[in-house]
A and B are shown apart, each in its own frame.
With several copies, the nearest count.
Chain A
């Protein structure tokens, strides 16, 4: 029965699939696929999965009634350990915010797009407008504070205990940029 195979195909496909592709995969005519999709829509009535036509193709989705439970099950903060690149990027954003993307790269001595993207994806940092030269600015998020157990960014630990040259009186930002350029 073709509705069954269609259900399996749409279940597996991550994106909407056009009728023509379904017909190719099943080695049947497009008309049979269309009829099969009708039958599938009927079979899915009252089930947890719904059939939708989207963006030129067909796809399966979860029933909206299950959304709240799905959020409880799946939308948990992802907190794998930070890689060294992510920790450095996050510390620069946390201590200097708002800080521009080029500044982060200057301090770290390497482009930091992928670290910044991972931190953004996990909701630890976010864009905070643009610098006067149009560069993206970053700041930390409320989720960042929560995941680090901080009430505000003023609660960040004093970097002095890890500071290799604490006698330097210049501002943190200038010192980081200077050190970054010396390394670069």
Chain B
């Protein structure tokens, strides 16, 4: 097995020497892993690779596995609680065994992952159809249908729709208040005639009421209940009940 990675010479804040010495000190708990800046090791290794000018894949892989295991150990150390106790109980030999177990499990899934990635690449050549079903097949024939829903879900849904939220107490507000539902009701009343002039809806009203009525009209438009015409700017606005079929004007 290549040993390039373990001979990496490190010069860290808390440690100077070869990587494998660092590993053993950590495993024997003579050096606190929490104080080791793992990113520094990675940078040192990258420098080392750069200086060599060639990439020994096997050594690089070994390094990655070791550093990944250290990262994992460190992240566990940073977690308080039972995980920490569990690790504290390990003798250095057991810790080495544990680390070995991890390295082996990791190697297995790294290999399996590479195999999956290659399998996906190989499978990319085959494409599958994603066309909608012909219309004749989209609707199920009635005879095939079996009960799939409980009628109670409808009753529940309806019950929730019957719930009226408690009215807001607005007595402490001094300004006269015009409510949108109120103006909606006025417009809907007028709409029953099929068509009416907007002026009619706001005759004698204050500016606030006019504004809210206009907003109510926009709301009716949005909901598809009403539309209007205005032949000239600032001319009279004629409101009429709207149909999605495009019927315009008065409907008796």
List 5 A-B residue pairs with CB atoms under 8 Å apart, sorted by A's residue number: A91-B154, A134-B247, A160-B108, A180-B95, A182-B24
User: Is B145's CB under 8 angstroms from A150's CB?
Assistant: no
With A67-B127, A160-B108 as contacts: A134 and B244 at CB distance below 8 Å:
yes
The answer for the CA separation of A132 and B113 in the assembled complex, in Å, is 27
Q: Does B234 contact A (CB under 8 A)?
A: no
Interface range for A: 35 or more
| Stretch from B8-16, B47-55, B162-170, B204-212 that touches the partner | B162-170
Q: Report chain A residues within 8 Å CB of B114.
A: 84, 87
- What's the least CB distance linking B117 to chain A, in Å? 4
The answer for the CA separation of A82 and B132 in the assembled complex, in Å, is 22
User: Is A82's CB under 8 angstroms from B116's CB?
Assistant: yes
- What's the least CB distance linking A132 to chain B, in Å? 6
The answer for the CA separation of A12 and B132 in the assembled complex, in Å, is 9
Beyond the given A147-B149, A149-B149, please list 14 additional residue pairs across the A-B interface where CB-CB is below 8 A.
A79-B149, A82-B149, A91-B109, A91-B161, A134-B244, A135-B243, A147-B123, A148-B123, A157-B152, A162-B111, A165-B164, A179-B24, A180-B24, A182-B165
With A75-B139, A143-B140, A173-B100 as contacts: A180 and B155 at CB distance below 8 Å:
no
Q: Report chain B residues within 8 Å CB of A148.
A: 116, 119-120, 123, 147, 149-151, 154
The interface centre, meaning the residue of B28, B68, B129 with most chain A CB atoms within 10 A of its CB, is B129
The answer for the CA separation of A72 and B38 in the assembled complex, in Å, is 46
User: Is B1's CB under 8 angstroms from A168's CB?
Assistant: yes
Complex A-B, nearest 4 residue pairs according to Cβ-Cβ distance, in ascending order: A134-B243, A162-B111, A162-B159, A64-B125
The answer for the CA separation of A63 and B152 in the assembled complex, in Å, is 43
- What's the least CB distance linking A77 to chain B, in Å? 4
With A109-B102, A147-B120, A157-B155 as contacts: A14 and B225 at CB distance below 8 Å:
no
The answer for the CA separation of A178 and B25 in the assembled complex, in Å, is 11
The answer for the CA separation of A55 and B245 in the assembled complex, in Å, is 28
The answer for the CA separation of A90 and B161 in the assembled complex, in Å, is 12
Q: Does A57 contact B (CB under 8 A)?
A: no
Q: Does A6 contact B (CB under 8 A)?
A: no
The answer for the CA separation of A105 and B106 in the assembled complex, in Å, is 11
| Residues 116-157 (chain A) with a chain B CB within 8 angstroms | 123, 130, 132-136, 142-143, 146-150, 155-157
Q: Which of A59, A106, A130, A147 contacts B245 (CB 8 A)?
A: A130
Q: Does B21 contact A (CB under 8 A)?
A: yes
The answer for the CA separation of A95 and B162 in the assembled complex, in Å, is 12
The answer for the CA separation of A167 and B79 in the assembled complex, in Å, is 35
- What's the least CB distance linking B251 to chain A, in Å? 6
